[in-house]
Amino acid sequence: MVDDFVAEFVMPAVPTIAPTGFRRFKRGKIISGLVSFALFSVSLLLVLFAMNFLSQGVLMTYDPELSERHEEFKQLSGFDNVTTSGAGVDVCIVDTGIDMTHPDLKHIELAGWNDFVQSRAKPYDDEGHGTAMAGILVAKNLLPGIAPDVNLYIAKAITSSGSGTDSVIASAVDWCTDNGVDLISLSLGGQQGINLIFLSTDELEDAVNRAINQGIYVVQRGAMMAAIMTMVMYQALEVWRT
């Protein structure tokens, strides 16, 4: 289309360059070439801007004595006084999945499950992080969950290596939103996409905003990724918007 426009309107109006012993050419072709190059450059930038960034599941604490502290946790003065059950609340965890054979989770029945990694029909967890996040809510036995009666939805968007792409995670968030949940948990972190005035390339942020616009709480881990490898870290929550 650009070449046709230049050939019809630009080239006839541009005088040819005087013979110099070299092949004659028309200035209009130079203009056409520059326009084509500019369009190609813009297209390339759009592709680069829309790169699918990786997110990582947040690692668990590096406390080497954590396994020895279960009884200490149970003896905390307020541990048995928590009265919130979570009944009637729909929670969707976007993570590595859930291991339904775990001794502390055998009792639960999921309200919903979707595997965005391998499209398996039955719940599973090939990394473990998602199971731990679910346990914080609904576990029984050794360390009871803080909201054991929530209606739990699980969206597997993180692979066995602990990573996932923005597009996959965004699809998982949209699935949670479509199910009308009250809260979405994203215990992961990664590189921010690029947002311009006329262009948004952060699929995950867009999905989160769609959830928020539906009145859904979206929570995400609050630890800085740069500090994870250098300090003893415990999970925290950061509310995107309330």
**Is residue 51 over pLDDT 50?**
no
For residues 28 and 144, state if they share a domain.
Answer: no
- Residue of higher predicted confidence among 115 and 54: 115
Q: How many residues does the chain have?
A: 242
Q: What is the CA radius of gyration of the chain?
A: 27
**% residues pLDDT > 70 (the chain):** 51
- Residue of higher predicted confidence among 67 and 60: 67
Return d(Cα 94, Cα 57) in angstroms, integer: 10
SS (H, E, C) 23-85: CCCCHHHHHHHHHHHHHHHHHHHHHHHCCCCEEEECCCCCCCCHHHCHHHHHCCCCHHHCCCC
Q: 184 pLDDT band (50/70/90 cuts)?
A: very high
* SS3 at position 126: coil
For residues 76 and 102, state if they share a domain.
Answer: yes
pLDDT of 63: 56
Return d(Cα 44, Cα 73) in angstroms, integer: 54
Task: Report the b/e string of 186-195 with b at 16+ CB within 10 A.
Answer: bbbbbeebee
For residues 175 and 69, state if they share a domain.
Answer: yes
For residues 41 and 148, state if they share a domain.
Answer: no
Residue where a domain stops, chosen among 48, 65, 86: 48
In the predicted model, what is the mean pLDDT of residues 223-233?
41
For residues 30 and 142, state if they share a domain.
Answer: no
Domain count, the chain: 2
- Residue of higher predicted confidence among 28 and 87: 87
Range of the domain at 151: 54-239
Q: Which residues does 141 contact at the CB level (< 8 Å), separation at least 6?
A: 103, 104
- Residue of higher predicted confidence among 64 and 102: 102
pLDDT of 241: 36
pLDDT of 195: 52
For residues 44 and 137, state if they share a domain.
Answer: no
Q: Which residues does 43 contact at the CB level (< 8 Å), separation at least 6?
A: none
For residues 71 and 26, state if they share a domain.
Answer: no
Q: Cβ of 23: how many Cβ atoms within 10 Å?
A: 6
For residues 36 and 81, state if they share a domain.
Answer: no
- Separation in Å, CA 227 to CA 120, 123, 132, 162: 35, 32, 21, 18
User: Do 55 and 164 touch, CB atoms closer than 8 A?
Assistant: yes
- Residue of higher predicted confidence among 194 and 188: 188
Q: State the CATH number of the domain containing residue 183.
A: 3.40.50.200
For residues 35 and 124, state if they share a domain.
Answer: no
User: Do 90 and 180 touch, CB atoms closer than 8 A?
Assistant: yes
For residues 81 and 197, state if they share a domain.
Answer: yes
pLDDT of 105: 94
In the β-sheet with 217-221, what is the strand arrangement from edge to edge?
112-115, 151-156, 90-95, 183-186, 217-221, 237-239
- Report pLDDT digits (tens) over 70-117: 666 666 656 566 667 889 999 999 999 999 999 999 999 999 999 999
pLDDT of 85: 86
State pTM to two decimals.
0.65
For residues 153 and 196, state if they share a domain.
Answer: yes
Q: 169 pLDDT band (50/70/90 cuts)?
A: very high
Burial class (CB in 10 A: 0-12, 13-18, 19+), 173: buried
For residues 33 and 106, state if they share a domain.
Answer: no
